[in-house]
Chains A and B, each alone.
Chain A
Amino acid sequence: MIARLLALILKELLAIVGDNRSRTIIMVPPFAQTLVFGFAATYDLSDVPYAVFNEDRGPVARELLAGFSGSSTFRLEAVIDQERQITTMIDSRRVLMVIRIPPDFSSDVLSGGTGKAQIIVDGRNSNTALLAQSYAESIVTAFDEQWLADHGGRAPPSAIVTRSWFNPNLRTQWFFVPGIIGLLSLVVTTMVTALSVAREREMGTFDQLLVTPLRPFEILIGKIVPGMLIGFFEATIVVLLAIFLFRVPFRGDLLTLYVGTGCFLLSAIGVGLAISSISVTMQQGLLGAFMFLVPAVILSGFTTPIANMPVLVQRLTLINPLRYFVVVLRGVFLEGANLPMLADQLWPMLLIGAVSLTIAALLLRRRMY
């Protein structure tokens, strides 16, 4: 029976990677996509184009503006001298932000009062706007404190000292790159498994499989193992890129990472096979794969936090295996989490895997006899 099973696994694996074109489609995209997405997926701002509308010309304004031009977050795009140019600059998206210094700014500050600098921010992307605003705010606060210290003013009676755990510079790349491991292995394993039964049905080879002495659960194992192998292969590629190319700190251990990956792959393959055994044609299989993949990716906490969702949608994400795996990946990479700390993320994935594989087995059996 073992030999029979091994032969079946080999046959299934060859069906996926034996053909040159489909091997390329499985091997190349994870490399390319990790490279592109790893650099693209970040909320950190750099080179934000801004314009200056300085009506003051005094020394204080010049000093304040030097703080902006010296920052790597901002890039001076234009200096304007008319109010209506603000609209043109922002509307056309030439700049994200305009700093406006009113005429009496320097004299206000020099006479011991408070100078009011204005920024106008393009809010079409509100997250970028919020970030640009808070970067600008920190430059102005630093300038304010320095000015008060140099000119004997009274500093505010308290100050906030922020410390950040696990990621002191709040680099969001460290947050996204581990997530990409889950994203890409989910896409590949679902695609490989969701179409596998339907493809055999359409080609007629499923009937041949049925007349062999293989039992339904053996056929299922024959489909699970190759998916696992391909999934582990993909995940390993992305993990290596994450550590050695993107330099995301790896603070946990490989055992936890691979146990987590195993649980996740089991659940992803389970869902894929359940889709596959329900669908009669490949088109249905593909539709099913899309209908699972797209929400699974968007509602996984990969880009937008689950905590921001309404309660009903949050409950819905409980059946999404990627949701748990993203936490496992970030935990292992950044927090150095071990297996006991991640147990509450692992068992739901196993449960999803068990339930979906049972569905797949039952459907396969019913269709067989």
Chain B
Amino acid sequence: MSAAPTSTPDRFASARRLRGFIRKEFIQVFRDPSSIGIAFVLPVVLLLLFGYGVSLDAQDIRLAVVVDQPSHDAQSFIGEFERSHYFIVLPMADQRQAEHALRARQADAILRLQDDFAARMQPGPAPAPIQLVVNGVDGNTARQVDAYVHGVWRRWLVQRAADSGDPLGMAVVLEPRVWFNSELRSRNFLIPGLVAVIMTLIGAMLTSMVIAREWERGTMEALLSTPVRTWEILAGKLIPYFVLGMGGLTLSLAMSVWLFQVPLRGSLVVMFVTSALFLITALGMGLLISSIARNQFMAGHIAIITTFLPAFILSGFIFDIHSMPDVVQAVTYIIAARYYVSILQSVFLAGDVWVVIWPNAIALVLMSFVFLALVRRSMRKGLG
């Protein structure tokens, strides 16, 4: 088995053997409806569910409003919130009622205008304070609510200054411009990320139990005692699942573009080549898990622990990798999904940015080589 194929007849024999072996694996895979279900049905169902379900855009913020003393200014200010489609205004009798609503999770924030609000809006030494109370348990939503309230407030001040002909004194203003996703729609980056998480899962599920099952049933020993080489077994296991996986991946990408309307600014070629690289890495990881575990119970367990949660939390799909501590950032380098998420977000939203694509694609190639080499080694060892 260790000798390299040198003579021509041997090489022909090898090619024929490989073809036959792959055909056998194909028949085995396609006879089992569960792999087709995993490859095609699962990504569609999960992407449908998560594509609609996962969003970071706060909407319908329930704002409990307390106005101690009605006035023209108070009315026009609250009116701005009623017109904004981000807010649902809940008028409250007093601060106590509002605090009760916030505590009972019936309101997301309290906006209070105290009784001297109108008086202090007139030119004077100190500005009129507007009290905003947010529920800090969900810090991210609280920050968004704060930012939206500030936005409404700024708009109101500008409008009020224009109406009264009294210019608004501001020395410096900031003009933000957001590239690639100007309306800041979180789905535009979450959906490419979800495709990466889902495909990590599919790749590992398709292959993680394959070799473990063969060991458990003893058919692996039988296979190893035939003249089939280890790398041929590997190719035979990998190619059918790769074909299936690419089918599922294509469906997911098509759904992202047509159903979820994520703009695709890069080229299809780049997207498919990098997706294929990622899929090989994910399948390789599944094969590695199953050749290490040797039984299906362990393989399943390891697959869930090492694929889904790390891809979900450490890939940069939702949490910004830059903001993690250095040690944790170092851990993210061994997560294949990290590279794919980076590529997909760029190819979808920015275009074919080669400085992003090259390093990440090379990382994927390296990872897949390492995985497959490890699988090959652990299969050889099993023989002894």
A125–B345 contact, CB under 8 A? yes
The residues of A that contact B304 with a CB separation of less than 8 Å are 187, 191, 289-290, 293
A43–B121 contact, CB under 8 A? no
Report the minimum CB–CB distance from A360 to chain B (whole Å): 19
Pick from A36, A114, A175, A284 the residue with the most CB of B within 10 Å.
Answer: A36
B139–A129 contact, CB under 8 A? no
B179–A294 contact, CB under 8 A? no
Report the minimum CB–CB distance from B137 to chain A (whole Å): 5
Q: Mark contacts of A112-140 with chain B using CB atoms, 8 A cut-off: 1 yes-contact digit, 0 otherwise.
A: 00111111111111111111011011001
Question: Known: A45-B320, A125-B320, A133-B178. Contact between A170 and B345, CB under 8 A?
Answer: no
Question: Does B165 sit at the interface, judged by CB under 8 A?
Answer: no
The residues of A that contact B146 with a CB separation of less than 8 Å are 134, 162
A92–B298 contact, CB under 8 A? no
Question: Does A168 sit at the interface, judged by CB under 8 A?
Answer: yes
The residues of A that contact B1 with a CB separation of less than 8 Å are none
B157–A295 contact, CB under 8 A? no
B179–A90 contact, CB under 8 A? yes
- Out of B132, B133, B139, which one reaches A167, CB within 8 Å? B139
Question: Does A330 sit at the interface, judged by CB under 8 A?
Answer: yes
B137–A175 contact, CB under 8 A? yes
Query: How many residue pairs bridge A and B at CB < 8 Å?
Result: 339
Report the minimum CB–CB distance from B265 to chain A (whole Å): 11
Pick from B122, B138, B308 the residue with the most CB of A within 10 Å.
Answer: B138
Question: Does B144 sit at the interface, judged by CB under 8 A?
Answer: yes
Question: Known: A308-B57, A335-B137. Contact between A121 and B331, CB under 8 A?
Answer: no
Question: Does A163 sit at the interface, judged by CB under 8 A?
Answer: yes
Question: Does B201 sit at the interface, judged by CB under 8 A?
Answer: yes
A295–B312 alpha-carbon span in the complex (Å): 12
Report the minimum CB–CB distance from B283 to chain A (whole Å): 16
Q: Could you tell me which residues of chain A, from 161 to 192, have a CB within 8 Å of some CB in chain B?
A: 161-168, 170-172, 174-175, 183, 187, 191
A330–B9 alpha-carbon span in the complex (Å): 69
The residues of A that contact B134 with a CB separation of less than 8 Å are 162-165
- Out of A48, A170, A316, which one reaches B142, CB within 8 Å? A170
Q: Pull 14 A–B residue pairs with CB atoms less than 8 Å apart, ordered by A.
A: A25-B302, A41-B319, A48-B323, A116-B173, A118-B176, A123-B178, A124-B181, A125-B316, A131-B143, A157-B127, A158-B130, A163-B132, A305-B138, A316-B49
The 6 closest A-B pairs by CB, nearest first: A167-B136, A123-B181, A164-B136, A170-B139, A154-B169, A286-B300
Question: Which A residues have a C-beta under 8 Å from some C-beta of B?
Answer: 21-22, 25, 29, 33, 36-37, 39-49, 60, 64, 90-93, 96, 109, 114-131, 133-134, 136-137, 140, 143-144, 147-148, 151, 153-168, 170-172, 174-175, 183, 187, 191, 195, 199, 282-287, 289-291, 293-295, 297-299, 303-305, 307-310, 312-313, 316-317, 330, 334-335
Question: Which B residues have a C-beta under 8 Å from some C-beta of A?
Answer: 34, 38, 42, 46, 49-50, 52-60, 102-103, 108, 117, 120-123, 127-144, 146-147, 149-150, 153, 157, 168-182, 184-186, 188-190, 201, 205, 209, 213, 296-298, 300-305, 308-309, 312-314, 316, 318-320, 322-325, 327-328, 331-332, 342, 345-346, 349-350, 353, 355-356
| Extra contacts besides A164-B142, A304-B55, A309-B55 (19): CB < 8 Å | A33-B309, A39-B324, A91-B356, A114-B171, A117-B173, A123-B178, A125-B320, A126-B181, A126-B189, A134-B143, A158-B153, A161-B131, A163-B133, A284-B34, A289-B304, A290-B308, A299-B53, A303-B318, A304-B56
